Structure 1
Amino acid sequence: MEGSLILANGEKFTGQWQGNPKDHIGELIYFTGMARFQEFITDPANKGKVVIATFPGILNSDLDPSKFESDQIQIGGLITQQDVNMPVDVKGINVLDLFSEQNIPVLTSMDTRALIKRVKKEGEMPAIISSKYTVNRLSAQMEDIYANFGTEHIIPKGHKHIVVINFGYKKSLIHSLSQSGHKVTVTSGHIDISLIHSLKPDGIIFSGGPGNPLEWQKFFPDYKKLAMKYPTLGLGLGHQILALAFGANIEKMPAGHRNFKEAVIETDSQKVFMSNQNHGYTVNEKNLKQYGFRVSFKNVHDGTVEGLVHEQYLVVTYQFHPEQVHNPLNELIFNHFFKTVNESKGASVYA
């Protein structure tokens, strides 16, 4: 049967509906990768988003659950040019079967080129994906994506105690931490600062996650207090939240960085690295020095801020993420953080 995608600007696109009838409204973004599809659709940073896949054979992707970034699909809908009447050759889990099992709508035979042009021109925007061909406007509300996660003792024993403030962490983060030999506790972004202190952390990680970091602003004073007291690492959304907590500003990007090979340059060494990114906001570089930060990484293509170091407190943040695969940035991120954790125990963090 036919289904439709209605953009916030009023335009409607039609395609072939796959799955159970339903409506879903979410931010419309695009994914240009020909690989790493399973990591992308299970990344909590994509919770609720409607994704345009530019690769025409995306439904032929092999899905390996061991590489999923969470236990389920996070995106709210998939748009693809691929025609399901053509043979779909997969060795592992069938993409359409998995989406159907989790009741995630898919629109096939879509004009993805025209859609990408709209997004690149007008920016990422809300859109509704609907099985009702008669729907002609956005009439629903975007679902709440700011979950209140509980406290979990992920790794109960280890040399040092790392507390992860959870805004929607990826499995690859826990995978990296599990190899470090440290105790790991995950706690909610809806923070209870007395609880965090009672855990007696040796270091704190602000995880990545979905959405606008300003949604967490009522907790900014407590986030700042924690970062001033303990060695702190921010990743993805956590990078933006920490910058905001210290007084910096963010900007909405017309089209976000959603790539597993996004080029970043380290400002001190001038070395270029390929990074894993998935975000639609960026930290504004203006007045960062006023808030105690210096820029440690920038994006090669558009010059946006990719990393920060605080000059007074043990706070280091990155817009990019560690990965499950071997990556030089993994070592850079964690070697620096764990070195700081080991050296700061028992000493004042204040400069």
Structure 2
Amino acid sequence: MPEAFRNDDERLRSEVDRVMKERAEHGLEGLIGGLESIVINTQPERQKDAVQEVLNTTGYVFEQAFERDGIRTCVLKKDGSADMLVTSRLVGENPFRPVNRGPKGDAMPDTRLETLVFKCPRLEEAVAIQKKRGVRFLTEEPVRTPSFLFMQTEPSPYTGNSVGYLQWLDGEGAYRPDDAQRLDWHFEKPDWPHLRDVHELDHAATRVRAEERDKAIIEFMELTNYHFDFAIYVEALNSITNVARLSAEDFAMVFTSGIEPFKSVEESGPTELFIHNYNTRVHHLAFRTENIEKTFDALVEHGMEFLVELVGSPEEGLKQTFTRPMSSTFIVNEYIHRYGDFDGFFTQSNVTMLTKATERQ
């Protein structure tokens, strides 16, 4: 009888070493920069609600809305943070729909955070290298406008996410092509003081299957210049939180999986249960937050529901919390504050309590 699968960092780290060497050999190091934007697709009838949810719960502001080639796009921005594009497909097929299937995900079959877009100043060179390595893209050639070049991979078989490359040519931050139809959409940004304490995107966390954890992390490293940093195991909940970094100052990518594969709803733990219900996808977006206690209280006062109270303490180095999933996107907001000279990223106790909280969704 074959031995049951169980994740092991030794296997992963041997693959990490291989990828780092191959990236250097192919000339990819330094070609792909930090996170420039994220693309969240919604059901068309929920798009405005999705934008308003972001405005009501983060420091982001609405900039503009436009439509081009059957895709409606709302651009939201926050100084010092990656941009947020909330989109809806009005015509045509959705290449992400197959990876959105699940008992709960089926309720909004076109909704997910689809693409993480990274700055790529020499896009055509990077794409040519990746094509030779067998990477498949959604278009044969880059999307070209006077302002930018853009190319994105097909949805990953391990995460359901796509990685995008963006090269600004002129007018950095100008997402609306000249031939796009500008939409007369307006949103009210609440003038709530606590939203000024919700800052940039700190990290995003993708749920991946236990048996595909290594493949998901390695694939992401092959598509970006990120490196694998560390993993925290929560044995009691059958969960591993894995962190990939570009640098200590940049947006981080988190991959959470089971230690062992899904067996049943009753015994597999909250991480594998989430995947069973929603398929692999980004579970939450984390925002760096000042005055986190007051911010938490104010969010509750304005109707926000949470999966867990604030966890952590100044003595431990950080505090965090998870909201309930946003009604229009399935995405959970995390608010995180690191104290003083805390030089870590997470703590074992916080990871355990936050993982446990996801049982409630």
- TM norm structure 2: 0.28
Q: Which has the higher contact order (CA 8 A, sep 6+)?
A: 2
- TM norm structure 1: 0.28
